[in-house]
Structure 1
Amino acid sequence: MRVLIVESNASLRWLWKRHLQRRGFAVELAGSQEEAAGAISDREHDVIVLDAVLEDGSALAVADYASYRRPDARVIFVTSSSFFSDGSIFALAANACAVLPCGTSPDDLASVVEHYGARG
């Protein structure tokens, strides 16, 4: 399974990458909207783990671009904010399949990625 992690926090994205790789996933990293758009343009991903509040760019723009370029990719949003706790992200991003707090354990994140990636 191919996974793209789009996360502003470098330490967090590397932590998630290592856990996902241990499960046998091919993982690519991006830290900004621009990097994510390049990765989405050039390669297919089964799942995109996307920081809902990117420091450099817009997560919703990334999700929208993914829905256009890679319509089969599932997007799992992660956030440190309670802003999307009402489920509004599902109305804003048609390809959103889950919203998790960024404090979710890496093993639990890997299980969610595995679950939604297998459904694609």
Structure 2
Amino acid sequence: MAVVLLLEDDPGLQYVFSEALEDAGHDVHVASDNDQAMSALRRCTPDVLLLDLMIQGGLSTDVANYAVYSAPDADVIYMTGSGLFPKGELFGMSRNARLVLRKPVDIRELTTMVAHVTLGEPTLEVPVPT
């Protein structure tokens, strides 16, 4: 079981992702914006941060960078439907970034990737289906 901080501003996706992760046995803390996520990082020490990259007009990279200090062993999985950073630039911007999942995210893929990073596997980006 891993402690997961889920940052997702879409209430429907937040619900579906958190339920799937809880069903997989993880302890999930949810946040809807960067401020809530930063506050959650002060209350818990997650193993994994599952971050929607584009969050309410900004980026969640600030949360990932804060986690480097507040939860240094936590890995970051970004989720995005955006075309930003198509060449893996996120891995240079966030030193704790391990994966990028492209939206729409398959629930099985999500739970598998959370399990993958908690086992300490190397960094990889899930390819965009064509």
Q: Structure 2: how far apart are the matches of 1:41 and 1:67?
A: 12
TM-score relative to the length of structure 1:
0.95
Give the direction of change, closer, same or farther, for the CA distance of 1:107–1:85 in structure 2 (3 Å limit): same
Which 4+ residue blocks in structure 1 deviate beyond 2 angstroms?
none
> Counterparts of 1:1-120 in structure 2 under 5 Å?
1-55=2-56, 57-119=58-120
> Higher helix share goes to which structure?
1
Identity rate, percent: 31
Q: Spell out, residue by residue over 1:48-107, the C-alpha distance to the aligned partner (whole angstroms, 9 max, x if none).
A: 000111106531111110111111000000001021221000010000000011212111
Query: Can you give the 5+ residue segments of structure 1 that lack an aligned partner in the other structure?
Result: none
Q: Structure 2: how far apart are the matches of 1:62 and 1:103?
A: 22
TM-score relative to the length of structure 2:
0.88
Higher relative contact order (CA 8 A, sep 6+): 1
> Conserved in 2, the CA contact under 8 Å of 1:76 and 1:97?
yes
Q: Secondary structure at the match of 1:12?
A: helix
Between 57-66 and 20-29, the greater mean CA deviation after superposition: 57-66
Root mean square deviation, CA, Å = 1.3
Letter in 1 for 2:12: S
Query: Can you give the 5+ residue segments of structure 2 that lack an aligned partner in the other structure?
Result: 122-130
